[in-house]
Structure 1
Amino acid sequence: MGKHTLPEDFFFGAAMSGPQTEGAWRSGGKIENLWDTWSNEDLGDFYNRVGSYAGNDFMARYREDLALMASLGLTTYRTSIQWSRLLTAEGEINPEGAAWYHELFRASREAGLECFVNLYHFDMPTFLFRRGGWERREVVEAYAHYAELAFREFGQEVRYWFTFNEPTVEPEQRYQEGVWYPKLHDFGRARTVQYHISLAHALGVAAFRRAQAAGEVRADAKIGLINAFTPTYTREDPTPADLEAVRMIGGINNRWWLDLITAGHLPEDVVDTLGARGVNLPVRPDDDAILAEGVVDWLGCNYYHPTRVQAPASDRDEYGLPRFADEYIWPEARMNESRGWEIYPQGLYDFGIDVRDNYPGLEWFVSESGMGVMDEYKHRGEDGRIEDPYRVDFVRDHLVSVSEAIAAGSPCRGYHYWGLIDNWSWSNAFKNRYGFVEVDLMDGYRRRLKRSADWLAEVTRTHVLD
């Protein structure tokens, strides 16, 4: 037996989302969400002009895709309910949308797969965004209403629920860095959004607890949060200012959510420093009681890359907004050139040890991990399958880090690979392919196993990594 193994009860699965896979964007009573709106308004912003419309055709191919997952030895997968598909603009259940998710959960059980369900994956209904989006309390309350209806509708079918996926990303990409529609650059507004998402999460957890106590949610169900964690590092011989950059960037991206889900409050040092720099959160008198409801049963960790920072050259950015760090370029970094992200499996071990030491009792799993590569068709072998040994190396190295964290006492329970089946990925569309399964856009979304799928099936069978 190899040196690195994973526990027998360690689960393997796939990660996906509703807006990136489902397609059928105008059918079944679905209303418009922000990705549909952006695609309609400026399709040229998307790689090869591939907008949100089709996902990867999952709604038409879900039986085939579930069977594929099961054939590779997976026992679980995570997707999301689309707010814009489940509810009408009046905030009522859309019967056609509900019927689709009931059918998906039924088919998942039939395929032998446990479906983990996330409620929000960056896909706000457009009409709510136009009323202020996450900057408005009204939308926080609308999310709590949506969560309550979802728990009531599917509470006997779903065991594992999550309030949000990557709540640190939307404030950054949409409001701070100007990458996603509507391409804003406002650090203060981004933190308002982050604060309101924190409240929405806590209200969602409170709705889950009430529904479970009322018997509307099954007694063995659990509620969690999924976030993109980026362990924060600096130079080997840091200055006090470098360490201050680590404190604030790690505080905003990582500790903010870890403190919320384990202690029911935000990190005071981060909030105080924001206030001292003129970034005041829209706090109301009863908010502490709301946030206190945000403690979860377990955590999903999405990990792709670390964050490396150093002291900022100036305390304001080009937009006149507070700046807490500059990027530090580590000379030894190994990069995924397609995505521009550092490959650093050690970060997953370090996260596991952080959980063990600073958040005792918090169970977690790797809820996303994956390697996206451009132009994978160039790696097609003579038998038509894509040869992707780089993906095997990436996943093996990260799973080795997980196994070492578990051996050191970190309670990691499983691993979900992001993009097991190639999917549409925001403004990058199908630019970078993540899958163990190819989606051929030139052949009607046909699925084909890549060579790496053989390795994955062996690992899920044996739990041996070497």
Structure 2
Amino acid sequence: MSKLPTDFFFGAAMSGPQTEGAWRRFGKVDNLWDTWSNERIEDFHNRVGSYAGNDFTDRHNEDFAILRDLGLTSWRTSIQWSRLMDADGRVNPEGAAYYHELFADAKKAGLETFVCLYHFDMPTYLFRRGGWDSREVVEAYGNYARAALEEFGGEIKYWFTFNEPVVEPQNRYTFGAWYPFHHDFAEARRVQYGISLAHCLGVAAFRDLQAAGTVRPDAKIGLINCFTPPYTRENPSEADLEAVRMTDGIDNRWWLDLVTKGTLPQDVMATLAERGVDVPVRPGDEQILAQGRVDWLGFNYYHPARVQAPSSDTDEYGNPVFASEYVWPDAVMNESRGWEIYPKGIYDFAMTMKRDYPDLEWYVSENGIGIEGEDSSKDASGAIQDDYRIDFVGQHLQWIAKAIEDGAKCRGYHYWAVIDNWSWNNAFKNRYGFVEVNLSDNYSRHLKKSASWLREVATTHEIAPHSEGFVSESA
């Protein structure tokens, strides 16, 4: 039996574009997900685009009651830039009223609201002006962040500038998996740099407005990223270790250095330059980056990164390659998602934080398992019997408990996603929730078997072993 501290918090992670729906209501303008849905709906699983979310807008009070019934005390969402601001960069009154009501209802339900300012949902009109590769758009984000903080600074205690800022460069510009489907490593790094500058402008706005009394004095600002602890083969070569260094440098240390030191890792920047990747640093950027230090950090964890020396220096598009995937023979996989299940990675990250960034508090801001075809797991009463979810979460929580015992500054845990939600172009293909959303019954909510287990853990802070299903303790 593992035990978490009494002040360790449990909550739910979600985002605006994946839950709200109401894409044409409350004065919202199109974001990239709406544009992609309109232009190529066939790219989305079962042709389910961005329009509906999981009906959270009309069901949020029901959902808040569910979260509280499960023993959760907090939740994270995102403000949609495309809902709060109009196309002229001014606050949209309907959008502001929408979020004021949402945050007030969460407070009435007894939930602390965590707000992220950006969750992959750039307004389309700004993307068409250059997106994160444009300094104009970086500055537009600074304007948006300041407006949001001015509007809600007296209501919200916990703020985050970005969710997973490494994902958009990867999925939109390196892998070509998301709109606009580019395969350009250098463009991805320019976008990553633009996001880094935007983060710093958001933090600077927070500091200014907190000093002015607009943001509440007990408020905190942070960043959320999907950190992937890197591993390689046993008895690695120097080239394997170099693959680890650059993978860790671009995906992890880039952000950790930014939020703790106000700089980017110079060894990574030097290697990028050596390989012809131009990151457009301008005079004055050093002062902007220096403002990027945060009060705490969100750690999204789904899987580790296993890499080895690349088989080629460039890919089929002529991009530099710094690492290739290493398939660990003992890997346990979530076949639905294609991700390795490795609970110990959460502990290894915690120990890295303790060693290299000892002053920074953090919490697990996302962790979860998405499974395809959960209907096949229903019992005679219609309840989904998701023991695999209990196994997954229980083992990750056990490693968190051990990390805290060993000195990690981990303060809480938010599960993604307590209630099934729309998941980008996968739509509702893989279900993550402790609570089912039934698309055939007007988005009705139904507890899965795991929900009662979550309630017990959240209220007692005790994690009882469930099975040995996913245990994997060495890399």
TM-score class normalised by the smaller sequence: over 0.9
CA distance in 2, matches of 1:5, 1:360: 23
Q: Note the C-alpha offset of 1:219.
A: 0.2
Aligned to 1:44: 42
CA distance in 2, matches of 1:372, 1:203: 34
Aligned to 1:213: 211
Describe the SS at the equivalent of 2:100: helix
Q: Note the C-alpha offset of 1:83.
A: 0.2
Describe the SS at the equivalent of 2:462: coil
TM-score by length of 1: 0.99
Residues 37-66 of structure 1 show CA distances to partners (whole Å, capped at 9, x for unaligned) of 000000000000000000000000000000
Aligned to 1:303: 301
Q: Which runs of 4+ in 1 moved over 4 A?
A: none
- Equivalent of residue 237 in structure 2, options 230, 236, 239: 239
Aligned to 2:381: 383
Q: Note the C-alpha offset of 1:461.
A: 1.0
CA distance in 2, matches of 1:85, 1:204: 18
Describe the SS at the equivalent of 1:12: strand
Describe the SS at the equivalent of 2:317: coil
Aligned to 1:421: 419
CA distance in 1, matches of 2:212, 2:92: 23
Describe the SS at the equivalent of 1:31: coil
CA distance in 1, matches of 2:459, 2:97: 34
Letter of the 2:356 counterpart = N
TM-score by length of 2: 0.97
Aligned to 2:60: 62
Map 1:305-344; keep pairs closer than 5 Å: 305-344=303-342
CA distance in 1, matches of 2:180, 2:282: 27
CA distance in 2, matches of 1:389, 1:259: 38
- Equivalent of residue 357 in structure 2, options 348, 359, 364: 359
CA distance in 1, matches of 2:6, 2:103: 25
Aligned to 1:411: 409
Describe the SS at the equivalent of 1:293: helix
CA distance in 2, matches of 1:93, 1:440: 35
CA distance in 2, matches of 1:386, 1:314: 45
Residues 255-313 of structure 1 show CA distances to partners (whole Å, capped at 9, x for unaligned) of 00000000000000000000000001000010010000000000000000000000001
When structure 1 is superposed on structure 2, of 377-386 and 291-300 the one drifting more is 377-386
CA distance in 2, matches of 1:460, 1:26: 37
Residues 193-219 of structure 1 show CA distances to partners (whole Å, capped at 9, x for unaligned) of 000100000010000000000000000
Aligned to 1:120: 118
CA distance in 1, matches of 2:130, 2:197: 16
Describe the SS at the equivalent of 1:442: helix
Describe the SS at the equivalent of 2:413: strand
CA distance in 2, matches of 1:223, 1:53: 30
Tell me, yes or no, if structure 1 residue 83 matches structure 2 residue 81.
yes
Letter of the 1:246 counterpart = V
Describe the SS at the equivalent of 1:316: coil
Tell me, yes or no, if structure 1 residue 28 matches structure 2 residue 26.
yes
- Equivalent of residue 268 in structure 1, options 251, 257, 266: 266
Describe the SS at the equivalent of 2:463: coil
CA distance in 1, matches of 2:446, 2:453: 15
Residues 12-58 of structure 1 show CA distances to partners (whole Å, capped at 9, x for unaligned) of 00000000000000111000000000000000000000000000000
Letter of the 2:10 counterpart = F
Q: Note the C-alpha offset of 1:383.
A: 1.3
Describe the SS at the equivalent of 1:161: strand
Q: Note the C-alpha offset of 1:433.
A: 0.1
For structure 1, the residue ranges without an aligned partner over 5 or more in a row are none
Describe the SS at the equivalent of 1:365: strand
Letter of the 2:161 counterpart = T
Describe the SS at the equivalent of 2:362: strand
CA distance in 2, matches of 1:431, 1:380: 17
Aligned to 1:370: 368
CA distance in 1, matches of 2:416, 2:33: 20
Aligned to 1:187: 185
Residues 178-206 of structure 1 show CA distances to partners (whole Å, capped at 9, x for unaligned) of 00001000000000000010000001000
Q: Note the C-alpha offset of 1:328.
A: 0.3
Map 1:167-182; keep pairs closer than 5 Å: 167-182=165-180
Over the aligned positions, Cα root-mean-square deviation in angstroms equals: 0.4
Letter of the 2:311 counterpart = A
Aligned to 1:392: 390
CA distance in 2, matches of 1:82, 1:320: 35
Describe the SS at the equivalent of 2:105: helix
Letter of the 2:112 counterpart = E
Letter of the 1:359 counterpart = Y
Residues 94-138 of structure 1 show CA distances to partners (whole Å, capped at 9, x for unaligned) of 111000100011001100000000000000000000010001000
Describe the SS at the equivalent of 2:3: coil
CA distance in 2, matches of 1:192, 1:325: 19
Describe the SS at the equivalent of 2:223: strand
Residues 143-197 of structure 1 show CA distances to partners (whole Å, capped at 9, x for unaligned) of 0000000000000000000000000000000011000001000000000000010
Q: Note the C-alpha offset of 1:384.
A: 1.3
For structure 2, the residue ranges without an aligned partner over 5 or more in a row are 465-475
Aligned to 1:451: 449
